[in-house]
Amino acid sequence: MHSDPYRLNPEGMHPEALYASLTSSVRRLVDVTIRSQSDPDTIVSAKAKIDAAATELSDALIPGSFGIEAGSDGRPRAWGNAVIGLRNALAPPLIVHHEADGSVWADVVLGAAYEGPPGHVHGGICALLLDHVLGATAHKPGRPAVTGTLTLRYELGTRLGPLRAEARVDRVEGAKTYAVGHLSTEDGVTVRAEGVFIHPRQTAVLDTAPPR
């Protein structure tokens, strides 16, 4: 779960790989911060290293939040996004696959940081993932969609571990996309969702392709 798919080579390393590697390390840190049983002196020592790392990274900061920036390949990057953000350690991150028929899916493994009821995914985290994948069905090049309404029906507890999130378009009416989807684990479907996603009037958002 915490394996690092990128070799760390600062000389000529692609920024995407460098940031992915850094964020992967922060995700591991978030996990062990919850589960550590180390003694107080060790915790104090670890905290000092974390503070030093944060200070180093604060040399120069993007003001406010990441937003969306244009990548070197021209595609928009939502690297700060709470669900898919490459640089956001809160994001699992979800890798959303778009099928030719307009449906989307993502496989993800959720660990200790996503817990609500003991051993189970927080109901609100289920909502977070479903909001994102349902919204992804409505996302069109140059036309971002925002959530209008979202209804969730919890059928089973969603155990921590591997799960799939999937969604498809039910119908489109003008600026509104009606999407449906669900989460599933080895126990079967755990949460079902339906939502209406709206394309607001064109804004100045950089958005010529689905963000990644």
Residues 11-40 that bind its own copies (CB under 8 A): 13, 15, 18-19, 21-23, 25-26, 28-30, 32-40
C-alpha gyration radius of the chain = 19
Tell me whether residue 41 or residue 101 sits nearer to its own copies (CB atom). Answer: 41
Q: Which residue has the tokens 């509104």?
A: 176
Number of neighbours of residue 159 by Cβ within 10 angstroms: 16
Options 73-81, 96-104, 166-174, 179-187: segment touching its own copies (CB under 8 A): 73-81
Task: Name the token pair of 205.
Answer: 């958002």
Number of residues interacting with its own copies: please give it, by CB under 8 A.
92
Residues of span 105-134 touching its own copies by CB under 8 A: 111-119, 122-125, 127-132
What torsion, rounded to 10 degrees, do the Cα atoms 67, 105, 91, 146 define? Answer: 40
Sole binder of its own copies in the list 109, 141, 149, 162 (CB under 8 A):
149
CA 158 to centroid of chain Cα atoms: 17
What does the alpha-carbon distance between residue 174 and residue 72 come to, in Å, rounded to a whole number? 33
Beta partners for 154? 191
When asked if residue 182 is in the footprint of its own copies (CB under 8 A), the reply is: no
When asked if residue 202 is in the footprint of its own copies (CB under 8 A), the reply is: no
Candidates 181, 185, 170; CA nearest to 107 is 185
When asked if residue 146 is in the footprint of its own copies (CB under 8 A), the reply is: yes
Tell me whether residue 54 or residue 99 sits nearer to its own copies (CB atom). Answer: 54
When asked if residue 186 is in the footprint of its own copies (CB under 8 A), the reply is: no
When asked if residue 61 is in the footprint of its own copies (CB under 8 A), the reply is: yes
Contact 96, 102 (CB under 8 A): no
Tell me whether residue 22 or residue 169 sits nearer to its own copies (CB atom). Answer: 22
Tell me whether residue 10 or residue 74 sits nearer to its own copies (CB atom). Answer: 10
When asked if residue 137 is in the footprint of its own copies (CB under 8 A), the reply is: no
When asked if residue 189 is in the footprint of its own copies (CB under 8 A), the reply is: no
> By CB neighbour count within 10 A (0-12 exposed, 13-18 middle, 19+ buried), where does 184 fall?
middle
Tell me whether residue 100 or residue 144 sits nearer to its own copies (CB atom). Answer: 144
Task: Name the token pair of 66.
Answer: 């990441």
